[in-house]
Amino acid sequence: MYLQKMGSSGTGRFTDYPGSSRSTSSTGGTTGGSSGSDKCGEAFAAELEDVARGSYYGTKGSLPPNGHEFKVVHSKRLVAVDLEGFELGNLPTKYNYLAGCIGSGRAYIGVVTTTSISPLPRIYVDIAPI
């Protein structure tokens, strides 16, 4: 997967020009101007940060059940906010690129997959574009 994501595979000639069509090199890598993949369109799993400081845990004193739905809101940080407006926690900063995707018109929803209260409250989620 790592190898196929390089736009400059092979040493016969330079292949990473914007106008180059996408093709597979003799050694299996992808070459050309674009990978054809859309990072903004990818679903992923994550653990939320700052759960203890979120308004859900702060107000209810408990964690949401598995399957609890939320949307991703860009509010200073990227925040998981449920349908009642409670903040479950922040997305880790490695997902900050989603802010650019949201700025380009995308939207994201998610569900809680599992939680753990001890020793620290933790929420694990799945997130996908809509």
Choose one: 36-44, 52-60, 61-69, 81-89; the region binding other proteins (CB under 8 A): 36-44
Structure tokens that stand for 130 in this block: 């809509």
- Using the rule CB under 8 A, is 117 a contact of other proteins? no
Are 60 and 54 spatial neighbours (Cβ–Cβ below 8 Å)?
no
Are 92 and 49 spatial neighbours (Cβ–Cβ below 8 Å)?
yes
Q: How far is it, in rounded angstroms, from Cα 67 to Cα 115?
A: 11
Three-class secondary structure of residue 39 per DSSP = helix
CB closer to other proteins out of 9 and 115: 9
| Residues in 50-109 at the binding interface with other proteins, rule: CB under 8 A | 74, 76-78, 92-94, 96-97, 99-101, 103-104
Using CB under 8 A, which of 23, 24, 34, 62 touches other proteins? 34
The answer for residues whose C-beta is within 8 angstroms of residue 13's C-beta and 6 or more apart is none
Residues in touch with other proteins (CB under 8 A) = 2-3, 5-11, 14, 16-20, 25, 27-29, 32-35, 37, 39-40, 74, 76-78, 92-94, 96-97, 99-101, 103-104, 119-120
